[in-house]
Amino acid sequence: MSNNKLELKSRRVLLGITLTFFFLFLSFTLCATPKKLQVATIFSDHMVMQRNKKVPVWGSVRPGTSVKVTFLNQEKRIIADKLGNWKAILDPLAAGGPFRMSISTDDERISLKDILVGEVWLGSGQSNMEWSIYSPPHKKIVCDKQTRDFITQSDCSLIRISAITRDHLKTSDGGWVTLTPEVKSLLRP
């Protein structure tokens, strides 16, 4: 074998080793990137949690991380699984509120506020369940005066809405909204 062929083969081997180490370094760097503490989108400020039932709270974080969920007088500690998923189960809760919830790791914290415990009502059905609570300007909602007056004039601050469709959440910031005068202004008589 000539010197040129040997030198060319050596360079190819050296290039192969260099590229292998580069891609190993890159993959370790990407895998070592910390995964931020997150809760499922349904958990947000203004949410309602079902009373008198065990309530799951879940999310994701770096695999193997210890997560602490604190709500009222309960503190639940869990370890994220190998995919980074975690789930805490809160003991049954009495109706009341507003309350605060804290979800934390050693170096991150998520604080949720204005949480109520009470009745959670679910509406489900076919695609027409995704229609808005208000109609386009050229259509009117058919409801009697008493219903319209109740919606527009009552203090509905304890009514919370979270609209989840088959594709995504439709409420602002993906969570819950309070039926405030601003939200009620979207309703058309």
Q: What is the CATH number of the domain that holds 51?
A: 2.60.40.10
- Rounded Cα distance, 31 and 62, in Å: 10
111 and 66 within one domain: yes
Between 156 and 104, name the one with better pLDDT.
104
Q: How many domains does the chain have?
A: 3
Q: In terms of pTM, does the model score above 0.85?
A: no
Binned at pLDDT 50, 70 and 90, residue 8 comes out as: low
Q: What is the pLDDT of residues 91-118, one digit of tens each?
A: 999 999 999 999 999 999 999 999 999 9
State whether 64 and 129 are in the same domain. Answer: no
Same domain, residue pair 79 and 151: no
Q: Same structural domain for residues 98 and 127?
A: no
For 130, phi and psi rounded to 5 degrees? -85, -5
Question: Are 45 and 70 members of one domain?
Answer: yes
Check whether residue 24 and residue 45 sit in a common domain.
no
Which residue, 119, 140, 171, sits at the end of a domain? 119
pLDDT at residue 15 above 90? no
Range of the domain at 113: 34-119
Q: Residue 155's Cα: distance from chain center in Å?
A: 28
On whether both 145 and 182 belong to a single domain, the answer is yes
pLDDT tens for each residue of 68-86: 999 999 999 999 999 999 9
Please check whether residues 16 and 77 belong to one and the same domain. no
**25 and 80: one domain?**
no
